[in-house]
Chain A
Amino acid sequence: GAGVSQSPSNKVTEKGKDVELRCDPISGHTALYWYRQSLGQGLEFLIYFQGNSAPDKSGLPSDRFSAERTGGSVSTLTIQRTQQEDSAVYLCASSLERDTEAFFGQGTRLTVV
């Protein structure tokens, strides 16, 4: 596709359930980022993948959050035992190399009820 694709666009889940959010970066982009944005707040960095290097997980808020990037392309952000405070828009971005512009997807709006 032409841009970063995220799915689903909206997800409603019950508290305590696990969810998986998917990100398809732009083809050939080696860097991939995950952020979350709570209502009316700024972007909170979660995790960063760069090529074959070990990911920077310094932004993950708890061990309920994990992310994988398989084959250097698609990434999945998993949230286990979801809590109401996990409700937010989760944004994914990719860039060609580590110092070039990042392109963002439209996000996944997660609502935990």
Chain B
Amino acid sequence: DAKTTQPNSMESNEEEPVHLPCNHSTISGTDYIHWYRQLPSQGPEYVIHGLTSNVNNRMASLAIAEDRKSSTLILHRATLRDAAVYYCILRGYQGAQKLVFGQGTRLTINP
């Protein structure tokens, strides 16, 4: 499985934007970039995913570098509820499709 690298932790303030980076230099052409987050004492929840183009949904935006070797999850206006562990995952379209979680980034939001 292609590997991703994320900072162990990040901190931000409420109502400010948050940019969560992910490096995936060994990404293959058929790998999708998925983001999940895990709130305290809950199972993970899907946030967003993309292949090449930037993506937006109601939760966040995903900015993908032109060479696809890195991506950034953007929370436009963080709330206290966004405090969670954020996981960046590569998921191939062909072959095995298992979803493998790394250690993720623990995001703390200050009031």
Count of interface residues, chain A, beta-carbon cutoff 8 Å: 22
Nearest A residue (CB) for B91: A99
Query: In the bound complex, how far is the Cα of B99 from the Cα of A59, in angstroms?
Result: 11
A-B contact pairs, 15 of them (CB 8 A): A31-B97, A33-B98, A35-B101, A42-B102, A42-B104, A43-B38, A43-B87, A48-B96, A48-B97, A56-B98, A91-B43, A101-B46, A101-B49, A102-B99, A104-B44
Q: Are A43 and B91 touching (Cβ within 8 A)?
A: no
Q: Are A106 and B42 touching (Cβ within 8 A)?
A: yes
Answer whether residue B100 sits at the interface, using C-beta atoms and an 8 A cutoff.
Answer: yes
A residues sitting closer than 8 Å to B (CB atoms) are: 31, 33, 35, 42-43, 45, 48, 50, 56, 58-59, 91, 93, 98-99, 101-107
Set of chain B residues within 8 Å of A45, measured between Cβ atoms: 98-101
Set of chain A residues within 8 Å of B42, measured between Cβ atoms: 106
Q: Are B97 and A104 touching (Cβ within 8 A)?
A: no
- Interchain nearest-CB distance for B79 vs A (Å): 21
Query: In the bound complex, how far is the Cα of B45 from the Cα of A24, in angstroms?
Result: 17
Nearest B residue (CB) for A33: B99
Cβ proximity bits B39-72 to A, threshold 8 Å, 1 near / 0 not: 0001111100100000000000000000000000
Query: In the bound complex, how far is the Cα of B96 from the Cα of A50, in angstroms?
Result: 9
Q: Which of B34, B43, B91, B98 contacts A104 (CB 8 A)?
A: B43
Query: In the bound complex, how far is the Cα of B87 from the Cα of A48, in angstroms?
Result: 19
Cβ proximity bits B89-110 to A, threshold 8 Å, 1 near / 0 not: 0010100111111111000000
- Interchain nearest-CB distance for A4 vs B (Å): 8
Q: A56-B96, A99-B32, A99-B91 known; A104 and B45 CB under 8 Å?
A: yes
Set of chain A residues within 8 Å of B91, measured between Cβ atoms: 99
Query: In the bound complex, how far is the Cα of B32 from the Cα of A99, in angstroms?
Result: 8
- Interchain nearest-CB distance for A105 vs B (Å): 6
